[in-house]
Amino acid sequence: MKASAQKEDLSIPRTMKAWVLEGPEQLRLIEKPVPEPGPAEVLVRVGAVAICGTDVEIITKGLPAWIEGGLPFNKNFTPGHEYMGTVVKVGVGVDEYGMGDRVAVEIHAGCGRCERCRMGMYTSCLNYGLNYGEKNKGHRANGFTTDGGFGEYAINHVNTLVHVPDEMSDEEATLIVTAGTAMYGLDVLGGLIAGESLVVTGPGPIGLMSVAVGKALGAQPVILTGTRDARLNLGTRLGADYVINVQREDPVEAVKRITRGKGVHYVMECSGAPNAMNEAMEMVNRGGRICLAAFPGEPVQVDLAKLVRNNIYVFGIRGEGRSATHRAAALMAQKRFEAKLIHTHTFKLEELPTAFRYFRERIEDAIKVVVKVH
């Protein structure tokens, strides 16, 4: 809460505790220098940080091979990208955020100079990963290519920040970026979804937030598919009009039944299941649109003929572009849905390995596991 935050000591120590990734599955809590914000940057005193599936990938496989110049295990890298906190220092020229402001983060700050960034497509930055040395183009992906939030302090470019209202808890604020990804997915699907039909496949955090944001914007009906009733019930509480347990009913048939054979306008694919793409193509009607926010680990069989014959468009998204995080935060600030329903567990910074275990093994049905840092 801001009230208490303001009472907190905002003085900045010289060093801080932070987890670093030393090798596959090798996280170590060390003491390292608190970094200095440059121009257009701020220093954030981390309040809380949530664990995301991508964190698990990074911890097991190192920084993704698809990041050019990615240094898988650089010994000093601090992951964590779903965090929030308080601004405790600002760089030159920063007045967008001030001392003591509560902020949540989004991941990508584009270089601002490649073709994609100039068109506003900063999550498709062509200088991805280039934030170092002579090739420094200014791109940052918090917790991917630059140090993230599993530590006491983190640097953020102002483009990756969003204000957090006083009434919102630290834990809930860590979910803003997840809601932002859901919002962005709905944006690329067209954005005008009041009264349009939407299937969300996969009740993970992004799927559940897609249900919530979709319903907040008036989609009707919102249909959620998944394998576990507990998650589906959560979907209902977040706004799903129908839930389908794919272990009990064929999801394509169920969607056809609910829509009286017509199919839906939009599918947000958040499961990464091998057959999800084929099912999505069966769920949408002619001219329908599919957003892929998840993907299977291996290549899968896809019947591309359906895309062509039915004029279907497919949009891959990585993360949360076009300031969607700000729009999602606005809905959350207006209490349009209860994002905090998906927050299930809280641990201390020192307990990060336990937090990961809860998340990975879904202990006690864990969904969003949050580490409270300050």
| Footprint (CB under 8 A) of a second copy, residues 310-349 | 310-318, 321-323, 326-331, 333-334, 336
What element of type H or E holds 287? strand 284-292
Q: Does 352 bind a second copy (CB under 8 A)?
A: no
β-strand partners of 223:
199, 242
Within a 10 A sphere around the Cβ of 86, how many other Cβ atoms? 23
Q: Which is nearer to a second copy, 215 or 343 (CB)?
A: 215
Q: Show the tokens assigned to 200.
A: 């969300």
Q: Find the shortest distance in angstroms from Cβ 174 to a second copy.
A: 19
Q: Find the shortest distance in angstroms from Cβ 91 to a second copy.
A: 11
Q: Find the shortest distance in angstroms from Cβ 299 to a second copy.
A: 4
Distance CA 280, CA 246 (A): 13
Q: How far apart are the first and last CA of the chain?
A: 12
Three-state DSSP class for residue 41: strand
Q: Does 209 bind a second copy (CB under 8 A)?
A: no
CA distances, 124 to each of 116, 318, 320, 321 (Å): 6, 8, 11, 9
Query: Closest Cα partner for 255 from 285, 235, 215, 231?
Result: 285
| Phi, psi (deg, nearest 5) at residue 277 | -65, -45
Q: Find the shortest distance in angstroms from Cβ 373 to a second copy.
A: 26
Residue 63 neighbours by CB under 8 Å, 6+ apart: 70, 71, 72, 74, 77, 144, 145
Q: Which is nearer to a second copy, 124 or 346 (CB)?
A: 124
Q: Find the shortest distance in angstroms from Cβ 16 to a second copy.
A: 26
Residues 20-39 that bind a second copy (CB under 8 A): 39
The mark string for 189-208 relative to a second copy (x by CB under 8 A, - otherwise) is --xx-xxx------------
Query: Closest Cα partner for 59 from 32, 79, 83?
Result: 79
Instruction: Tell me which of 61, 296, 348, 363 binds a second copy, using CB under 8 A.
Output: 296
Instruction: Tell me which of 115, 250, 253, 350 binds a second copy, using CB under 8 A.
Output: 115
Query: Closest Cα partner for 292 from 319, 263, 315, 266?
Result: 315
Q: Find the shortest distance in angstroms from Cβ 217 to a second copy.
A: 6
Q: Find the shortest distance in angstroms from Cβ 140 to a second copy.
A: 12
Q: Residues 174, 51: contact at Cβ < 8 Å? A: no
Q: Find the shortest distance in angstroms from Cβ 47 to a second copy.
A: 22
Q: How many residues bind a second copy, per CB under 8 A?
A: 89
Q: Does 187 bind a second copy (CB under 8 A)?
A: yes
Instruction: Tell me which of 51, 117, 244, 352 binds a second copy, using CB under 8 A.
Output: 117
The mark string for 258-287 relative to a second copy (x by CB under 8 A, - otherwise) is ----x--------------xx------xxx
* Burial classification of residue 206, based on how many CB atoms lie within 10 Å of its CB (0-12 exposed, 13-18 middle, 19 or more buried): buried
Instruction: Tell me which of 90, 183, 199, 224 binds a second copy, using CB under 8 A.
Output: 183
Residue-by-residue DSSP string for 144-212: TTB--SSBSEEEEEGGGEEE--TTS-HHHHTTHHHHHHHHHHHHHTTS--TT--EEEE--SHHHHHHHH
The mark string for 139-158 relative to a second copy (x by CB under 8 A, - otherwise) is ------------------xx
Q: Which is nearer to a second copy, 69 or 195 (CB)?
A: 195
Instruction: Tell me which of 70, 72, 91, 138 binds a second copy, using CB under 8 A.
Output: 138
Q: Find the shortest distance in angstroms from Cβ 5 to a second copy.
A: 22
The window from 14-22, 74-82, 114-122, 339-347 that contacts a second copy (CB under 8 A) reads 114-122
Q: Does 56 bind a second copy (CB under 8 A)?
A: no
